[in-house]
Chains A and B, each alone.
Chain A
């Protein structure tokens, strides 16, 4: 059995880590675990030596000191346990990121006790964040995790732990919050120019960046319009919210088609290039359509369209479909 399989089995059997939990997660007695840390074991060994010295030299106060420290160690176990007990965890949001950037998971932790909860650590995947929660407060914790592939990245097995108060005992709880991050594919670093517009509309082609053609007029603002095309000057003069229209783009929609890409590119390279083109097209303000095997998004522009396209690219081939 591999280490990860063992870990999964241990998680299921001992820590009762099951499927994704519906919010909110409340830490009850049964799901908090405590074990001594390395320094806790060193402390216990030191106490043993002190006990032996007390027996050998008949030191009554030596016994007293050893037992007092032992009692404080046991009390610290209960303190560590109590530091987690009764916390509620509510999954927050996580913004989509491009593969390679850190995915930031946000979790809200609520402390209903009128005491602060110090020295907490939240870990998920390879990210970790130290924090404390003030008395009767709710704070939002961000955990940055690295991303390695496109698709949906669930937060997965998440550990909340504390070494408070003495660092001798580690108390922790394992849970799987209902939280995932959409990871867009990595855009190709130096993509070729955007492909030509639809047949017969070649004059609309721009190689990205500066593609604002002749100004044609203003129209009512729609929610999907890019902020780059908002007529800010009009707005600044106290006018209505309007969008600038450019004749050059009229009908010059860019078609981003999987099948038009060179044959030697493999699947990920194609996705990567299409991603770069979606970004470039959106930046250029051109309307674009995206066609993938099995998916076709009609021409459009604006943040929502861009998001839909990137999402389709991220999930192409059903990568990391929802909830794994």
Chain B
């Protein structure tokens, strides 16, 4: 891989091997570039990179020569083999990034010629880009920017071996600062296309945390501690009350004794209900979850752009959400849904596996009989039973066996929302009333900084719907029976005090988090979420209606031309020695130049003075005196600010007739 520079005498760099200083810059670049990658690389790749960098640092410290090429080759080949085995393939995003990381470390090990450094710096640029596959947050962007500055400084160290560290950093920062306006112009104007341009590798979107399309004991409490943001909502009017914030996810009707699964639902372009009541307009910014459900507020309005409606009142996107996406949505929380429901859906909502949870089944039978089989009365009795059974809401429910609902209701009496909802739906079904589990998110927290509602994974929730003849599906939240605080104030309010303390956050930390998340939200909306639609909106606001590629190219050309012109103006500006002495002398020369006595470039002050004296005998004394004084102050010793000021005054007072 290493080759000597082709024309050592003709290139501006000395052909000698890499010096210590250049190697240090490169090492720093590699550390900053690879640092953010460590959580995403396989452990062995991270370890190998660390070992190689450490080895490089050690060699640098001891001033040793690069290791033998065969050894480097051997490491490279075994690393490639490791990647092939570890990932099962060579092509694709993840193996590619691992390969790049190892290549960079190996390249660092064998940097001998200028060319090696340039290759290493290009590899570093690729790696700085590829971290954005995993994480595009503010801190990672800041780290990548640092790494970019260091990489530029490495290139500087290659060309200009004598500059100080400070000068190098200053020059690279200046280059980046001058590149910034170009970046802004191109970022705004470069035509955005909705990727991908070609088929993405299969591993482009790995699994994300979040709701799944089935529920079993533990599947939601698993999310309870995750502070990751699921989505944000910005309301046009006042946000709905906490107990109205039910964000609908998968509706689960099929139960096999342990796991709840969705029944097959039909999707249509129009909802199966007629929206009525109050309308709430809002924008939802959904974090990628690689699913099609939208987690809209109950119940989505008709006629929303690019959205399909399922018969269980879920709003769905056409393709899985694989990047942070904004949706303009509206909800009618007071709508009655499913007043006329298909018999198949109702019979599925009464289904129970035979012999499952017999104790609960018996309890339901007894409650139904006591209520005289009136659905409303049965609901009341079931709710009363759950409220009074001494059930505890907890994030750490005990492990349950095959008859999970029986064990929860009669033995352990400790559970999270999935236990409550599944027990409630089981009881209702056992009493012959159609009921089903609905999963999704409940609640959310208003960020006081930017007013948006932030919903986290820990807000994941499961509730129930019961069908009544003439009313349709009605929401019942069984968890609220045992933990009423859960609805209004979030998870920690619903938990027992000992568990809540672990989740509680001091106020200052909470406010800090609010600020941080508001900044992140702005970053997400304006930088990361800058997509074809946003570009169209922004350009329309700038007066470019429906620009085509040609218009955008022209605009880019004009912007680049203007910026280039500004840079050239900057370059033309000469920083001459602008001391007061020089200024005074320049004004003196200028004064005489207007009288046709310009100083020649090669003329020293003494010669100039003599020529002036000959040309203007009337002022000979003064002219020669000024020239002599200037020469004394400029080249002699004993120049003081006072003397310079005197000379300046003499020059100012000089009147040429």
B156 in contact with A165 (CB, 8 Å): yes
> Does B639 count as interface, using CB distance less than 8 angstroms?
no
B351 to chain A, nearest CB (A): 43
Residue of B nearest to A112 (CB): B576
Q: A57-B200, A58-B531, A70-B182 are in contact. Are A65 and B144 (CB under 8 A)?
A: yes
Docked-complex contact B129 and A66, CB < 8 angstroms = yes
Given contacts A42-B118, A59-B132, contact A68 B12 (CB under 8 A): no
Tell me whether B156 and A56 are in contact (CB under 8 A).
Answer: no
Question: Contacts A72-B175, A86-B574, A164-B159 given: A65-B527 contact, CB under 8 Å?
Answer: no
B196 contacts across to A, CB distance below 8 A: 56-58
* A82 beta carbon closer than 8 Å to chain B: yes
- Say yes or no: is B11 at the interface (Cβ < 8 Å to chain A): yes
Among the listed stretches A73-81, A207-215, A245-253, A292-300, which one makes contact with chain B, having 4 or more residues with CB under 8 Å of it? Answer: A73-81
| Cα of A132 to Cα of B577 in the assembled complex, Å | 19
Knowing A57-B196, A60-B528, say if A118 contacts B567 (CB, 8 Å): no
Bound-state Cα–Cα, A68 to B570, Å: 19
Partner of B187, one of A67, A82, A114, A167: A67
List 5 A-B residue pairs with CB atoms under 8 Å apart, sorted by A's residue number: A69-B148, A72-B175, A81-B571, A130-B12, A165-B171
Tell whether A20 is near chain B: CB-to-CB under 8 Å.
Answer: no
B85 interfacial contact with A, CB 8 Å = no
B577–A39 contact, CB under 8 A? no
Set A55, A67, A75, A81: member contacting B193, Cβ < 8 A:
A55
Q: Which residues of A contact B575 (CB under 8 A)?
A: 113-115
Q: Looking at the complex, which one of A39, A78, A164 makes contact with B568 (CB distance below 8 Å)?
A: A78
Contacts A68-B182, A78-B564, A165-B171 known; list 20 others, CB within 8 Å.
A39-B118, A43-B122, A46-B122, A53-B129, A55-B197, A58-B196, A60-B529, A61-B144, A61-B528, A68-B176, A69-B148, A71-B179, A75-B182, A76-B175, A85-B571, A113-B575, A113-B576, A114-B576, A119-B159, A167-B158
B258 interface residue, CB < 8 Å from A? no
Kindly identify, within residues 112 to 160 of chain B, every residue whose CB is under 8 Å from any CB belonging to chain A: 114-115, 118, 122, 125-126, 128-130, 132-133, 136, 141, 144, 148, 152, 155-156, 158-160
Contact assessment for A79 and B175 in the assembled complex, using a CB-CB cutoff below 8 Å? yes
| Complex interface bits, B153-195 against A, C-beta within 8 A gives 1, otherwise 0 | 0011011101100000001001110111111001100100111
Complex Cα gap A119–B574 (Å): 19
A128 with B9, Cβ < 8 A, contacts A61-B141, A67-B183, A166-B155 known = yes
Q: How far is the CB of A42 from chain B (nearest CB, A)?
A: 7
Whether, in the assembled complex, A94 has its beta carbon less than 8 Å from a beta carbon of chain B, the answer is: no
Point out the residue from A59, A63, A72 that lies within 8 Å of B133, measured CB to CB.
A59
Q: Does B198 contact A (CB under 8 A)?
A: yes
| A121 and B12 in contact, given A59-B136, A75-B179, A75-B567 (Cβ under 8 angstroms) | yes
Q: How far is the CA of A52 from the CA of B114 in the complex (A)?
A: 27
By a CB distance below 8 angstroms, the chain B residues around A55 are: 193, 195, 197
Bound: A100/B198 CA distance, A: 64
Contact A72 B160 (CB under 8 A): no
The interface residues of chain A lying within 8 Å CB-to-CB of B560 are 74
How close is B626's CB to chain A, nearest CB, in angstroms? 22
Contacts of A164 in B (CB 8 A): 12, 159-160
Q: Does A166 lie within 8 Å of B12, measured CB to CB?
A: no
Query: CA separation between A45 and B180, bound complex, in Å?
Result: 20
- Mark contacts of A142-167 with chain B using CB atoms, 8 A cut-off: 1 yes-contact digit, 0 otherwise: 00000000000000000001111111
B13 contacts A by Cβ under 8 Å: yes
Q: What residues on A are CB-neighbors of B568 within 8 Å? A: 78, 81
Q: Does A21 contact B (CB under 8 A)?
A: no
Chain B residue at smallest Cβ distance from A136: B577
Cβ-based interface call for B225 (8 A): no
Is B14 an interface position by the 8 A CB rule? yes
Within 8 A of A (CB), among B219-270: none
B133 touches A64 (CB 8 A): no
Question: How far apart are A76's CB and chain B's nearest CB, in angstroms?
Answer: 6
Bound form: Cα–Cα A289–B155 in Å: 61
- Contact status of A119 and B175, CB under 8 A, knowing A56-B197, A58-B531: no
B194–A58 CB distance below 8 A: yes
- Chain A, residues 128-144, CB within 8 Å of chain B (1/0): the string is 10101000100000000
Q: Interface 1/0s, chain A 236-265, versus B by CB < 8 A?
A: 000000000000000000000000000000
Interface residues of A (CB under 8 A from B): 23-24, 29, 39, 42-43, 46, 49-50, 52-76, 78-79, 81-82, 85-86, 112-115, 118-121, 123, 128, 130, 132, 136, 161-168
Q: Which of B128, B159, B570, B578 contacts A165 (CB 8 A)?
A: B159
Among B12, B141, B171, B195, which residue has the most Cβ atoms of chain A within 10 A?
B12
Q: Given A39-B118, A166-B159 in contact, is the A74-B564 Cβ separation under 8 Å? A: yes
Complex Cα distance, B575 from A115, in Å, reads 8
Cβ of A165: which chain B residues have Cβ within 8 Å of it? 155-156, 159-160, 171, 175
- Determine whether B278 belongs to the interface, using a CB cutoff of 8 Å to chain A: no
Q: Which residues of B contact A123 (CB under 8 A)?
A: 10
Q: Select B160's contact among A58, A66, A118, A168, beta carbons within 8 Å.
A: A118
* Contact of B126 with A60 in the complex, beta carbons under 8 Å: no
* A60/B136 in contact, CB under 8 A: yes
Residues on B with beta carbons closer than 8 Å to the beta carbon of A74:
179, 182, 560, 564, 567
- Chain B residues with CB under 8 Å of A132's CB are 160, 162
| Known pairs A55-B195, A56-B200; A71 contacts B576 (CB<8 A) | no
Query: Is the Cβ of B12 less than 8 Å from the Cβ of A29?
Result: no
What is the minimal beta-carbon distance from B101 to any residue of chain A, in angstroms? 16
B601: Cβ under 8 A from any A Cβ = yes
Chain A residues, CB < 8 A from B126: 46, 49-50
Complex Cα–Cα for A226 and B541 (A): 88
Report if A56-B180 is in contact (Cβ < 8 Å); known contacts: A50-B129, A61-B141, A165-B175: no
B195 near A57: Cβ-Cβ < 8 Å: yes
What's the least CB distance linking A166 to chain B, in Å? 4
Complex contacts, A60 vs chain B, CB 8 Å: 136, 527-530
B498 at the interface (CB under 8 A from A): no
Q: Tell me if B204 is interfacial: C-beta within 8 Å of chain A.
A: yes
Inter-chain contacts of B163 with A (CB < 8 A): 118
Decide: B531 and A167 in contact? CB cutoff 8 A: no
| A62 cross-chain contacts in B, Cβ below 8 A | 129, 132
Query: What residues of A have a CB within 8 angstroms of the CB of B115 in the complex?
Result: 39
Hey, which chain A residues are within 8 Å of B160, CB to CB?
118-119, 132, 164-165
In the assembled complex, the CB of A102 is this many whole angstroms from the nearest CB of chain B, namely: 14
The docked-state distance in angstroms from the alpha carbon of A47 to that of B623 is 60
Give the distance in Å from the alpha carbon of A115 to the alpha carbon of B196 in the complex.
Answer: 47
Q: B323 interface residue, CB < 8 Å from A?
A: yes
Please report the C-alpha to C-alpha distance between residue A24 and residue B602 in the assembled complex, in whole angstroms.
Answer: 9
Q: What are the 7 A-B residue pairs with the smallest beta carbon separation, nearest first?
A: A71-B179, A71-B182, A75-B178, A72-B179, A82-B571, A67-B183, A118-B160
